Amino acid sequence: MVVRWADCEVKSGSFEDPRLDLRLIRMIEALSSRPNSPPTEALDPAGLVGAYRFWNNSRVSPSAILRGHIEQTAERAACYPVALAIQDTTEIDVTSRPSVRGAGYLASPKRRGLLLHSVFAVSPTGVPLGTLRQIVWSRPLQELGKRHQRRQRPLEEKESRRWLHGVTAAATRLASHPHVVVIGDRESDFFPLFAASRPNNVDLLVRVSREARRVEHAARYLHKALEQAPLEGVVELALARSGSHRARTAKLAVRWSSLQVHAPVNGPPGNSVTLNFLLVEEIDAPQGVRPIRWMLATTLPVKRLDDALQYVQWYAFRWRIEQFHQVFKDGCRIEQLQLETADGIRRAIATYAIVAWRVLWLNLQARQTPDDPCTAILTRAEWQVLYAKFHPRLPLPETPPSLREAVRMIARLGGFLARKGDGEPGTKTLWRGLRRLDDLAAAWQLAQHRPREPSR
């Protein structure tokens, strides 16, 4: 019996009605085959009606949709000695559809939508493992313009508490894991995060935004104290392609220091905490490229240059969660779904979280284990039609192509040129290629008068 990958990501019994389990499995299989297509194209008429009924069903909760996927994420994380739990927040903008009920205001007061905060697990080598937590909320329109009042609220009522809850969720989901490192960008740099208690297996790695905070040092301020720290060495960091920036290797000067930080005067009372701070600055950056300058705060021990390089590399993997959110919005086009309530959008976001992880994992796993057989991700019909497409004069091989070969062929279907200087394909060409592959595989099996195999 073939076990479909979607069966593993949906927990049996998540819903009171077992038909909802089956509906969810069929939805994520179809949507992942065409991740950049709207549901009207990715699903057949009956499937489309079923999907919108599912998303509008009040008996379906986002937590139930993600329950099985979160458990599978924890199982995948258990295969590695360190699990990186990356936090980030993004906006789901539905301004173009003012009829959506329950949408709030966004960073721009004239925009409307929801806010999505994800905790996304990644291996220590950068392989996406899946979602650990996801919360979606809206800012009430009646609170627009009352920012000064929100600052006076207790922490329990502020949006910034999501960073604390993210750490708690990572610690809970990965309670039996030997070492979890929670990573956040500059928005997560606030004192209560570092002062809060954590399990012994959980550490923090956060990019500093408040470089002028007071510390116990003769220089008085954090940035001055770190700039006075001795140069510990120069390391090289491989940077992946990001947007219009090509992949490159950056040469970084590294400094670090252990410093005591006091609770802010205008914040909630608290004891001082001792943190390790890293300052990495790029040397000889290419012309026209903004040099890297990262100041990182961490609870991890920094004793050697190798430690510093490891933590800088882990922080560089923070880009994975931005790729995850990009697949959500640009690939799966979550903001364009014709749903009329915020609750319906929340259920759709939970569904597409599984699809977005699958697309991102497919691309990056091929880089980590390029020689694995592609049968781990493709059916026989899928890899055969791929091979026939790009090798029309050759007979089909007995042995399926490698994972890397298959992913590159899929990306070529989506516009990837596969030239020597092009590097590895990105997620955009991959999700476009998956759409074409789904059509080709269907035609291939139809031509052979064989029933369609389930997606693996």
Long-range contacts from 393-402, C-beta under 8 angstroms, 24+ separation: 399/373, 400/373, 400/374, 400/375, 401/373, 401/374, 402/370, 402/371, 402/372, 402/373, 402/374
Task: List, in order, residues 6 or more apart from 347 with CB less than 8 Å away.
Answer: 54, 55, 56, 57, 60, 61, 62, 65
Within 10 angstroms of residue 258's Cβ, the number of other Cβ atoms is 11
pLDDT at 408: 93
**Superfamily of domain covering 369-447:** Transferase Inhibitor Protein From Tn5; Chain (1.10.740.10)
Burial class (CB in 10 A: 0-12, 13-18, 19+), 78: middle
pLDDT at 14: 83
Specify whether the CB–CB gap between 62 and 18 falls below 8 A.
Answer: no
**Superfamily of domain covering 5-343:** Transposase Inhibitor Protein From Tn5; Chain A, domain 1 (3.90.350.10)
pLDDT at 435: 79
Q: Which residues pair with 234 in a beta bridge?
A: 253
First to last CA, the chain: 11
Element containing residue 180 per DSSP (H, E): strand 180-184
The token pair that represents 418 in the structure block = 């596969």
pLDDT at 426: 83
Could you tell me which of 357, 356, 320 has the C-alpha nearest to residue 126?
320
Q: Which residues pair with 181 in a beta bridge?
A: 84, 203
Cα 381 versus chain centre, distance:
30
Rounded to two decimals, the pTM is: 0.90
Q: How far apart are CA 331 and CA 328, in angstroms?
A: 6
pLDDT at 262: 86
Q: How far apart are CA 211 and CA 225, in angstroms?
A: 10
The dihedral over CA atoms of 324, 353, 78, 296, expressed in degrees to the nearest 10, equals 40
Could you tell me which of 342, 354, 353, 352 has the C-alpha nearest to residue 137?
342
Q: Checking DSSP bridges between strand 202-207 and strand 180-184, what pairing results, if any?
A: parallel
Tokens 């073939």 -> residue: 2
Percentage of residues of the chain with pLDDT beyond 70: 93
Specify whether the CB–CB gap between 170 and 132 falls below 8 A.
Answer: yes
**pLDDT per residue rounded down to tens, the chain (456 residues):** 344 688 889 987 788 888 999 999 999 988 888 887 888 888 889 999 999 999 999 999 999 999 999 999 999 999 999 999 999 999 999 999 999 999 999 999 899 999 999 999 999 999 999 999 999 999 998 888 766 555 667 677 788 899 999 999 999 999 999 999 999 999 999 999 999 999 999 999 999 999 989 899 999 999 999 999 999 999 998 887 666 667 788 999 999 999 999 888 766 566 789 999 999 999 988 888 889 999 999 999 999 999 999 999 999 999 999 999 988 888 788 898 999 999 999 999 999 999 999 989 988 888 888 999 998 788 888 999 999 999 999 999 999 999 999 999 999 999 998 888 778 888 888 888 887 888 888 888 888 765 556 655
Locate the domains of the chain by residue range. 5-343, 369-447
Specify whether the CB–CB gap between 91 and 107 falls below 8 A.
Answer: yes
Neighbour-count burial for 42-56, b at 16+ CB within 10 Å, e otherwise: bbeeebbebbbebbe
pLDDT at 303: 94
- Which SS3 state, helix, strand or coil, does residue 258 take? strand
